[in-house]
A and B are shown apart, each in its own frame.
Chain A
Amino acid sequence: MPDAQETKAPAPKLAALSPDEKKQRDRRNLAIAFSLGVFIVLVFAVTILRLGSAGAQ
């Protein structure tokens, strides 16, 4: 039976990012985080408003 160490595929080499690419990635991540935050707040606010108006009726 072969050793587990022998059958394991070599880990893929990760591309080295240049400083510019790292900066762009960070900016993308921040934009995604901000958009998700806005989306969550909007869904929460809309749900509360709709529930409030349904309750009033």
Chain B
Amino acid sequence: MQTDSSTLAGPQDYFALLKPRVMSLVIFTAFVGMIAAPGTLHPLLGTVALLSIAVGAGASGALNMWWDADIDAIMTRTAKRPIPSGRVPRAEAAAFGGFLSVLSVALLALASNYLAAGLLAFTIFFYVVVYSMWLKRLTPQNIVIGGAAGALPPVVGWAAVSGAAPLEAWVLFAIIFLWTPPHFWALALYKRGDYERAGIPMMPVVKGEASTRRQIFAYALILAAAGAAPFLIGMTSAYYLVMAVALGAVFIWLSWKVLRADQEDHSPAKKLFGFSIFYLFALFATILVERLVILYA
């Protein structure tokens, strides 16, 4: 007699459903939002709030894997995920993601406030329904609009501490929002075959590589300018501006190399993808260090 596939799943498979690598970026950017926000939150409440945001992000990742199990099975990058590899049944992933979504929003409301909880609920809704169910298979602008979900965590973190979502929080949102297209399109350039096989209308599949490279470069220019915005609105010091300009210059330079590369040469795109992760980390780390210095110096 055959046993259900869930009998083979271990806790690590359910953890993998939460997309831990994406979750780590969410935790970091939300933490920066919490530290940058005015006001204070009891350390335990702050930790629970951050945990809730992390679990909420993980829950939306599990729901995304539930919805996209068919295309994940086709793409080499995602074929080993718990559902397409048969370790976790699809329905269980849906129940797991749904349960954690409710739990994370409720816990955030309890630990901080309803605005933060509402923003977290909206983030989950936007990622699962607007991006995964609607835009991803419909338009090459999928990750442009869908990027809003990934950009919201610092706003949620800010709201958790201050109970408000002012301009400063939305500047952090804008940086991640503008960072998302060049980041994912760089990946899509060298994983184009995967997306093509799965029928996902990513920019290189629909508009071609030349157009995608031009758009990556355009976004790099806008992103570099947006990176300086926290200084321009008086949120950070000149040290941050120096860092933002230097990082932005490298981003533009690497995007230029992608633009000028031969059609078959994907190494510049791989370099840009790797650097883009460092770029976001370094920019937010600079804000974090500055705020910590102000708080404790």
**A residues adjacent to B (C-beta < 8 A):** 13, 15-18, 20-21, 24-25, 27-28, 30-31, 39, 42-43, 45-47, 49-50, 53
Contacts and interface: CB of A to CB of B under 8 A. Distances in A.
Contact of A21 (B8, B14, B48): B8
| Range for the number of chain B residues in contact with chain A | 10 to 19
B198 interface: no
A46 B9 contact: no
Given A24-B7, A27-B10, A31-B11, A39 B103 contact: yes
B2 A15 contact: yes
A25 B9 CA distance: 8
Given A31-B14, A46-B48, A17 B7 contact: yes
B9 A43 contact: no
Interface string B1-45: 111100111110010000000000000000000000000001011
B69 interface: no
Given A39-B103, A43-B110, A49 B42 contact: yes
Contact of B44 (A20, A21, A30, A49): A49
A46 B4 contact: no
B18 to A, nearest CB: 12
B3 A17 contact: yes
16 contacts: A15-B2, A15-B7, A16-B1, A17-B3, A21-B3, A21-B7, A28-B9, A28-B11, A30-B11, A42-B107, A43-B110, A46-B44, A46-B45, A46-B107, A50-B45, A50-B110
